[in-house]
Chain A
């Protein structure tokens, strides 16, 4: 448990905008992951992605770590922003672009 949480922390620190998803941005393997990628791209965001299908340990561990039972999960500066519904809502309200622009300005 300790070891996996350490790996999760290191992964979260690896990029300011990080999407844990099913598949990859160019080949998403789930409609919700695809919608989330589309929202990030529409904001012109620079983001990293993590394919949870390639890492079962992170896939299970992150659910417990973040207390969030489903994927995708978007993190900005190590903080969980939400899954597909929240990201898409924030995209429509303009909050997502604002958050991502602020994060990019800090980098």
Chain B
């Protein structure tokens, strides 16, 4: 199940943001039992490098990632930590 979720997240980010680098970590186990984990959705961390972030503010970058997630934010993801860079920032 968690592997499926990571795969779903990966597919959406790859399709919509063409990342040059993408790492997705499922941190759900770290939150097992706390209030936010009770609905069954997961906690994930994403590190993504994409030209799509060039010149954008932090807020705008996070919104692109949230938008790419779409309804997964309601169905599968409780919390999504995002580190988003453009290629020239590395």
Check if A and B associate: yes
Residues of A within 8 A of B (CB): 22, 29-32, 67-70, 80-86, 89-90
Q: Considering residues B34, B36, B74, B82, which has the most beta carbons from chain A within 10 angstroms of its beta carbon?
A: B36
Q: Which residues of A contact B79 (CB under 8 A)?
A: 32, 70
| B residues 32-63 in Cβ contact with A at 8 Å | 34-36, 58-59, 62-63
Q: Which residues of A contact B74 (CB under 8 A)?
A: 69
| Cα-based distance from A32 to B43 in the complex (angstroms) | 11
| Cα-based distance from A69 to B73 in the complex (angstroms) | 7
Can you identify 24 A-B contacts, CB atoms within 8 angstroms?
A: A22-B35, A29-B35, A30-B34, A30-B35, A30-B36, A31-B31, A31-B34, A32-B79, A68-B63, A69-B66, A69-B73, A69-B74, A70-B66, A70-B79, A70-B80, A81-B59, A82-B59, A84-B81, A85-B62, A85-B81, A85-B83, A86-B58, A86-B59, A86-B62
B35 x A80 contact (CB < 8 A)? no
A82 x B62 contact (CB < 8 A)? yes
Interface residues on chain B, number (Cβ under 8 Å) = 17
Q: Which residues of B contact A69 (CB under 8 A)?
A: 66, 69, 73-74
Q: Which residues of B contact A83 (CB under 8 A)?
A: 62
Q: Which residues of B contact A90 (CB under 8 A)?
A: 58
Q: Which residues of B contact A67 (CB under 8 A)?
A: 63
Given A30-B36, A85-B83, 5 other A-B contacts at CB below 8 A?
A67-B63, A68-B66, A70-B66, A70-B79, A82-B58
Q: Which residues of A contact B63 (CB under 8 A)?
A: 67-68
- CB < 8 Å: which of B58, B69, B73 contacts A89? B58
Q: Which residues of A contact B80 (CB under 8 A)?
A: 70
| B residues 66-82 in Cβ contact with A at 8 Å | 66, 69, 73-74, 79-82
